[in-house]
Amino acid sequence: MAYKNDLLTKINTNYAKFSKGQRILARFITEEYDKAVFLTAAKLGEAVGVSESTVVRFAGTLGYKGFPEFQKALEELVLVKLNQKDKQEVTFGKIDKDNVLQSVLTTDMERIKETLSETDETNFNIAQDLLCKARTIYVIGLRSCEILSDFLSFYLNLMFPDVRQIKTTSVSEIFEQMVHISKDDVIVGISFPRYSMRTLKALEFANMRQAKIITISDSIHSPLNLYSSCNLVARSNMASFVDSLVAPLSLINALILSLSIKKQNGLTDTLNELEDIWNDYQVYDNDEIDHYYDKDIRRYNKP
């Protein structure tokens, strides 16, 4: 199943209604999106030989409130289309090479702010309810998103009795791990551009089995949302060969903490039991030197 960016869909749908200048713009954006993404409305008009006002009207014709909203859609198109080599070249074009630390951290903060403003709180609450009612919770996030899947699965496992993280290198292995999924279960699918086809196949299979599906992705236009019962949006659109997972991780952290409040009594019992196990098996004990050092401190501190 191929994913068609919403901007391209709008261009194709409206192409017959475009003026001559708008058709030139449409062709340039379709063919040269990696160049168009860096241009202001004035520069974009100059590049194709039309006025700035024509560019702004073009964005309006496609249903965008203004050029900035249109440009954001263009950025999403670039992220979907670019391969890793191209994204690396884009990175070198956008980041201040003399101040990489500030550039990256500032961009990550902006992604968190965007996530906060765009996250649907109703969907966030629905996701909690679905997880609390699930018989079995499946979590899938592949490639760079496996880090997020690991984090979410680890903490869900402390709160729920049956959490299964899907780890795989092939589609067939996915189906083998999900063979018992049913309408009583929930699967959380995590993917960001470039979207994982194996994750999409897992959600398609879960949808066929009538399982509830929670998606964590970068946009309401993400292909994951074709199967979603509830979609959570977290911005990750740093044009780089390194995916920015700061905002998605922050969203997942908020979900975990919200669930821990709902499951407070059971979680407290589990943590107390784990503390006993950790102590019995010295999971978090200090090494021998620290152990004797602590004993010495206690001896010298006796009244």
Class of domain 6-81 (CATH, top level): mainly alpha
Q: What does the pLDDT read at residue 56?
A: 92
Q: Which residue has the higher pLDDT, 106 or 216?
A: 216
pLDDT (tens digit, 9 = 90+) per residue, 63-72? 998 888 898 8
* pTM confidence score: 0.66
Pseudo-torsion of CA 109, 253, 80, 198, nearest 10°? 160
Asked if domains 6-81 and 114-262 share a fold, the reply is no
Q: What does the pLDDT read at residue 96?
A: 59
Q: What does the pLDDT read at residue 6?
A: 74
Is pLDDT at 3 greater than 50 in this prediction?
no
Q: What is the mean pLDDT of residues 245-268?
A: 91
Under 8 Å between Cβ of 200 and 223: yes
Tell me what the pLDDT averaged over the chain comes to.
82
Nearest alpha carbon to residue 186 among 134, 150, 226, 229: 134
Q: What does the pLDDT read at residue 264?
A: 82
Q: Which residue has the higher pLDDT, 81 or 159?
A: 159
pLDDT (tens digit, 9 = 90+) per residue, 135-186? 999 999 998 899 999 999 999 999 999 999 999 877 789 999 999 999 999 9
pLDDT (tens digit, 9 = 90+) per residue, 87-115? 554 554 455 566 778 878 888 898 898 88
Q: Per DSSP, what are the bridge partners of residue 166? A: 140
Q: What does the pLDDT read at residue 35?
A: 76
Confidence of residue 220 (pLDDT cuts 50, 70, 90): confident
Q: What residue ranges do the domains of the chain occupy?
A: 6-81, 114-262, 266-300
Q: Which residue has the higher pLDDT, 162 or 269?
A: 162
For residue 227, what are the contacts with CB-CB under 8 A and spacing of at least 6?
A: 189, 200, 203, 204, 206, 207, 213, 215
Q: Which residue has the higher pLDDT, 296 or 206?
A: 206
pLDDT (tens digit, 9 = 90+) per residue, 33-53? 777 877 888 889 998 899 999
Q: What does the pLDDT read at residue 135?
A: 97
Q: What percent of the chain has pLDDT over 70?
A: 83
Confidence of residue 7 (pLDDT cuts 50, 70, 90): confident
What's the CATH fold of domain 114-262?
Rossmann fold (3.40.50)
Q: Which residue has the higher pLDDT, 184 or 221?
A: 184
DSSP-derived secondary structure for 231-290: EEE------SSS---HHHHHHHHHHHHHHHHHTHHHHHHHHHHHHHHHHHTTSS---HHH
| Phi/psi of residue 212, nearest 5 degrees | -80, 140
Alpha helix positions (H), the chain: 6-14, 20-31, 33-36, 41-48, 52-61, 67-81, 84-94, 100-118, 121-133, 146-159, 171-177, 197-208, 246-262, 264-280, 288-300
pLDDT (tens digit, 9 = 90+) per residue, 187-206? 999 998 778 888 988 999 99
